Amino acid sequence: METQVFNRALAVLILCTAVWFSACKKPSYADIKVEEHGAAAQGNREEPKSQSIDPESDLKKLGAPDQGNADQQKGIAMPDFFDSGKGRVKDLPYYPRAVTTNIQIAPVSNTTMLLQVMKTRDSFETVTAFFDQALKTGGWKISSLNKGESLWSWELAKDKGEQGAIQVEGQKEQGIVFIVLRRARSATELDKK
């Protein structure tokens, strides 16, 4: 029994010694010269040869067609119902203590669409009362009004092709009220103006 323990201990000792000797080599990075401040010396670095890469010229050389169309290159014009100086829709009520978090403007099926997302820490009741009162005098016809416990939405219509919507959603657990303004005008109405 003692012989087996001795043989196992000897085998472990030989194995550990073999691993130790195989690990005691000169590291592969030992030939790198380091300056005083720790940066590698210039002689050790090979700078890659820089080539100017111009994908457009490469495509032209290959005879590839133009990758963009004229509408993408022009960009999207700012709709006239959006005041870019103030950052809001001109003819929809704007809650004064709200902060805009996102604005998206895009053409959608021959319609110019604007979506503005705002948030405030005011109470849900205060915000909905503001919009309920402001929409009575804003020149919009309320085509539908949905009142839920924490979500109110107004669908609005003005002239032919002029649409709007306001959605107010209260999130009590976070203490935030989100306001979404949506404004749209059909392209045929844009051509007339």
Residue 173 lies in a domain: yes
Q: Is residue 83 part of a domain?
A: yes
Unique residue bearing structure tokens 């709200």: 98
Residue 140 is part of a domain; what is its CATH number? 3.40.1000
Task: Give yes or no for residue 18 having a pLDDT over 60.
Answer: yes
Residue 103 covered by a domain: yes
66 or 76, greater pLDDT: 76
Instruction: Compute the radius of gyration of the chain from its Cα atoms.
Output: 34
18, part of any domain = no
**112, 133 in Cβ contact below 8 A?**
no
- Asked whether residue 61 is domain-assigned, the answer is no
Q: How many independent structural domains does the chain possess? A: 1
Q: Is the pLDDT of residue 99 over 80?
A: yes
Domain presence at residue 16? no
Rounded mean pLDDT of the chain?
A: 75
- Does 6 map to a domain? no
Q: What is the pLDDT of residue 183?
A: 87
Indicate whether 127 belongs to any domain: yes
| pLDDT > 50? residue 35 | yes
Tokens, residue 32: 């790198």
d(CA 187, CA 5): 91
Structural domain of 131? 76-192
- In contact, 156 and 141? CB cutoff 8 Å: yes
Cα-Cα-Cα-Cα torsion 139, 141, 144, 145, nearest 10 degrees, comes to: 30
Report phi then psi at 163, rounded to 5.
-130, 155
**28 compared with 190, residue with greater pLDDT:** 28
Q: Which long-range contacts (CB under 8 A, 24 or more apart) does 109-114 make?
A: 110/186, 110/187, 110/188, 111/184, 111/185, 111/186, 111/187, 112/79, 112/184, 112/185, 112/187, 112/190, 113/182, 113/183, 113/184, 114/79, 114/81, 114/82, 114/89, 114/181, 114/182, 114/183, 114/184
User: Is 0.75 surpassed by the pTM of this model?
Assistant: no
